[in-house]
Structure 1
Amino acid sequence: MMRASFPATARLHSPTEYAQSLKGQRVGRGALFVVTRSRGEDPHQTEGARLGLIVPKRFANRAVTRNTIKRILRETFRHKREGLPNAAYVFRLHSKVPQVSLTALKQLVRTEADTLFSKVRP
């Protein structure tokens, strides 16, 4: 069994990488997120899937909310990474986050992330 890790090579870093992934195929859309993935060969692609996160202030005003969302998405990706096709995935928050407790927010984000990752097909 592979160790679930999230090294720097599994992240998107540059605006070019984000732009290429955002122009790609839409994997799914949920109540909070839209997930897209790069099409074809990614020149920056190494082994395994890569993740990029876009969590704007206009949809999540508080820093603690944005950080919680990103933490949960990274954790979910870390556990699902081995089963995903090699591509660059971008999770983009597309709607206002409901005013709920952090515990409820974590559950909401985790559930939606699991659902969206299950829609990924090779």
Structure 2
Amino acid sequence: MRATLSPAARLHRPSEYAAALKGRRVARGALLVVSTPRERPEADAQARLGMVIAKRFAARAVTRNTIKRVIREAFRHRRASLPQRDFVFRLHSPVAPGSLTQLKKQLRAEAEALLDRVQSS
């Protein structure tokens, strides 16, 4: 059986993304920024993930999909220990050309560091 991130753990509506992106920036790394809405979550809320990976920063679809896959996996492993809020990961700077293996290692380390900051805030 594959380990997946359930639909209840993801953001779906543009209004959910807009609220998180207008909210406060929780953490920033070399490639990614994590934002969350300012309003308090509902009582039965759980941590949910949204991603904005722009084509202008990662031109190749393979690169964008790799970025999403790495972020999704890091979030899935940490989801139970995160605050019950919506989190949007946004790519804010261009990805340097190189191998996908190097990119995966860099992104995994950055995603883990950002999630540590989110968890402690």
| CA offsets 1:56-115 (integer angstroms, 9 cap, x no match) | 000000000000000000000000000100000000000000111010000000000000
The answer to whether the Cα contact below 8 Å between 1:47 and 1:86 also exists between their aligned partners in 2 is: yes
Same amino acid, percent of matched pairs = 54
Unaligned runs of 5+ in 1: none
Unaligned runs of 5+ in 2: none
Aligned residues, how many? 118
Does residue 47 of structure 2 align to residue 70 of structure 1? no
The Cα RMSD (Å) is 1.6
TM-score (norm 2): 0.91
TM-score (norm 1): 0.90
Instruction: Provide closer, same or farther for how the CA distance between residues 65 and 96 of structure 1 changes in structure 2, counting only shifts above 3 A.
Output: same
Aligned to 1:12: 11
The residue identity in structure 1 corresponding to 2:48 is R
* CA–CA distance in structure 2, aligned partners of residues 84 and 74 of structure 1: 14
Richer in helix (by share): 2
Does residue 20 of structure 2 align to residue 21 of structure 1? yes
The answer to whether the Cα contact below 8 Å between 1:9 and 1:46 also exists between their aligned partners in 2 is: no
4+ residue stretches of structure 1 with deviation over 6 A?
none
Aligned to 1:108: 106
